[in-house]
């Protein structure tokens, strides 16, 4: 089941009301969902309490209450949400310090809104590519490359072997394609196919049994005389 596409949510942390409202309006017009914070204390509270999660944070450093540097440190303790720092400091040492402290990018004030939008797009694209690389999904089945796990509707499939994982990975990467047994074998075992199909057939059978233990929904079709494909 394909997830509904959601707007990217951006937290704007800026104590200057005019700048904050300017960014809020511009990002709304660009199609983003935006949330405003006017102090470091408010930003930390919003970040910690927000259950939906922010796609990106625009962070000023000179804030009342908790400083921008402290807010950045808190964000980095909890995850890898992209942070673009808004700063009036344009010295090389300051910029290097920001990046080494965990900022993903920085924009020097005063700024042009076109630059802000472009840098936001770059960071969101990086996150999307990273997310796609870590996992691949089809209907309710999700394969997590980082954790070497396969789940259906959030339920973990038990004891997936290296070859079973590779077979599912190939099929999920190309959900409409029919793969020959030779193609699947050479991908999953990383060796030349010699014409023997029993090993592959047993692994496909085992995958189906593990899926059946979680759901009655079919995921792998046999294409007689050719090989296998995902069930459409």
- Sign of the C-alpha dihedral, residues 210, 216, 172, 221? positive
Helices (H), ranges, 9-66: 17-29, 40-49
Which helix (H) or strand (E) covers residue 84, if one does?
strand 83-87
Question: What are the backbone angles phi and psi of residue 226, rounded to the nearest 5°?
Answer: -125, -65
DSSP 8-class letter at 9: E
Degrees to nearest 5, angle at CA 123 with 59 and 115: 70
Cβ atoms of 169 and 143 within 8 Å: the answer is yes
Two tokens at 153?
């509707």
pTM for the model stands at 0.59
Please name the residues in contact with 108: beta carbons below 8 A apart, sequence gap of 6 or more.
Answer: 87, 88, 89, 90
The rounded distance, in Å, linking the Cα atoms of 205 and 38 is: 58
Contact 83, 59 (CB under 8 A): yes
DSSP code of 3?
P
Please tell me the distance from the alpha carbon of residue 164 to that of residue 19, in angstroms, as a whole number: 53
Q: What is the pLDDT of residue 26?
A: 97
Contact present, 177 and 170 (Cβ < 8 Å): no
pLDDT in tens, the chain (232 residues): 333 345 799 999 999 999 999 999 999 999 999 999 999 999 999 988 876 689 999 999 999 989 999 999 988 888 778 999 998 887 788 878 888 888 989 999 999 999 999 999 999 988 777 666 678 889 999 998 878 899 999 999 988 998 999 999 999 989 999 999 999 999 998 888 888 778 999 999 999 999 999 999 999 999 999 999 999 8
Residue showing tokens 């296998």: 228
The predicted pLDDT at position 219 comes to 96
Structural domains of the chain in order of their starting residue, each with its CATH number: 9-133 (3.40.50.2300), 139-230 (1.10.10.10)
DSSP three-state, residue 213: coil
In angstroms, the CA 27 to CA 120 distance is: 10
Q: Residue 214: CB partners within 8 Å, gap ≥ 6?
A: 152, 153, 155, 157
Cα gap 193→181, rounded to integer Å = 9
């Amino acid at each position: 089941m394909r997830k509904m596409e959601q707007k990217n949510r951006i937290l704007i942390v800026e104590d200057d009301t005019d700048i904050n409202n300017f960014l809020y309006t511009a990002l709304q017009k660009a199609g983003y969902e935006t949330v405003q914070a006017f102090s470091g204390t408010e930003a930390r509270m919003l970040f910690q309490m927000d259950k939906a999660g922010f796609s990106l944070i625009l962070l000023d450093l000179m804030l009342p209450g908790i400083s921008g540097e402290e807010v950045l440190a808190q964000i980095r303790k909890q995850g890898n949400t992209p942070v673009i720092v808004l700063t009036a400091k344009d010295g090389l040492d300051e910029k290097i310090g920001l990046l080494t402290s965990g900022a993903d990018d920085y924009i020097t004030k005063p700024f042009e809104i076109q630059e802000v939008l472009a840098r936001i797009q770059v960071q969101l694209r990086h996150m999307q590519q990273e997310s796609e690389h870590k996992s691949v999904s089809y209907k309710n089945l999700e394969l997590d490359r980082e954790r070497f796990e396969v789940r259906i509707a959030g339920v973990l499939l038990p004891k997936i072997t290296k070859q079973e994982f590779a077979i599912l990975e190939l099929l999920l990467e190309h959900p409409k394609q029919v793969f020959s047994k030779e193609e699947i074998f050479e991908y999953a075992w990383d060796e030349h196919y010699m014409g023997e199909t029993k090993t592959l057939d047993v692994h496909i059978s085992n995958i189906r049994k593990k899926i059946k233990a979680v759901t009655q929904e079919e995921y792998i079709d046999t294409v007689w005389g050719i090989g296998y494909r995902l069930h459409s």
